[in-house]
């Protein structure tokens, strides 16, 4: 029951995010003295605002960190993936990035997941580099993206330490 609810929420959120470009012209604000921007344009401008970007990245990474400590795919992972989808979607629609940056991010995630299965360490390093490169390539300002990633990584590492030390949780793939 709980799994179906998660899948339904995730499916609805993906459909809503992907269908946003086909906005209704009734949402446009073309009254006298108005800016002429549609709701969609305002929403995209909000998502690429310099204050919102670190929040989206932090929510995304926190969702993935919490997901590492849960035995199955849960609400935190769905929220994290949705935050990353919103980040890349807004940057692609606004013209700041191409679809290749999203694919680079997806390849990075796959490489990190392969690192959990394969021995070594180099695949995980390449995966992490691909993820960081995708964020830098999608952003407008390298300094701002660097600061946003620093904030998101710092909070995520702090959350990981809190999960291990305070709540005595183990990662689901660890043997301990």
The ranges assigned to domains in the chain are 1-9+39-97+156-176
Instruction: Indicate if the pLDDT at residue 26 is higher than 50.
Output: no
Instruction: Indicate if the pLDDT at residue 169 is higher than 80.
Output: no
Q: Are residues 130 and 105 in contact, defined by beta-carbon separation less than 8 angstroms?
A: yes
Mean predicted confidence (pLDDT) in 3-17? 57
Say how far apart CA 155 and CA 167 lie, in whole Å. Answer: 17
Which of 37-41, 69-73, 154-158 is the least confident region?
Answer: 69-73
Which of 2-6, 30-34, 83-87, 103-107 is the least confident region?
Answer: 30-34
pLDDT for residue 39: 87
Mean predicted confidence (pLDDT) in 135-164? 92
Three-state SS at 35: coil
Per-position DSSP letters for 94-146, written without gaps between them: TTSS-HHHHHHHHHHHHHHHHHHHSSSSHHHHHHHHHHHHHHHHH-S-HHHHH
What percentage of the chain carries pLDDT values higher than 70?
A: 76
């Amino acid at each position: 029951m709980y799994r179906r609810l998660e899948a339904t929420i995730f499916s609805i959120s993906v459909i809503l995010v992907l269908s946003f470009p086909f906005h209704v012209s009734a949402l446009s604000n073309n009254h006298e003295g108005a800016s002429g921007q549609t709701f969609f344009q305002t929403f995209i401008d909000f998502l690429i605002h310099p204050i919102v970007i670190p929040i989206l990245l932090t929510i995304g990474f926190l969702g993935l960190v919490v997901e590492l400590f849960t035995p199955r795919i849960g609400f935190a992972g769905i929220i994290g993936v949705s935050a990353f989808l919103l980040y890349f979607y807004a940057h692609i629609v606004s013209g700041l990035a191409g679809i290749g940056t999203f694919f680079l991010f997806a390849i990075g995630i796959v490489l990190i997941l392969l690192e959990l299965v394969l021995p070594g360490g180099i695949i995980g390093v390449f995966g992490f580099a691909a993820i960081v490169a995708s964020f830098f390539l999608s952003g407008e300002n390298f300094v701002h993206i660097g600061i946003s990633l620093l904030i998101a990584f710092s909070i995520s590492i702090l959350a990981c330490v809190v999960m291990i030390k305070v709540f005595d949780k183990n990662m689901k793939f660890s043997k301990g």
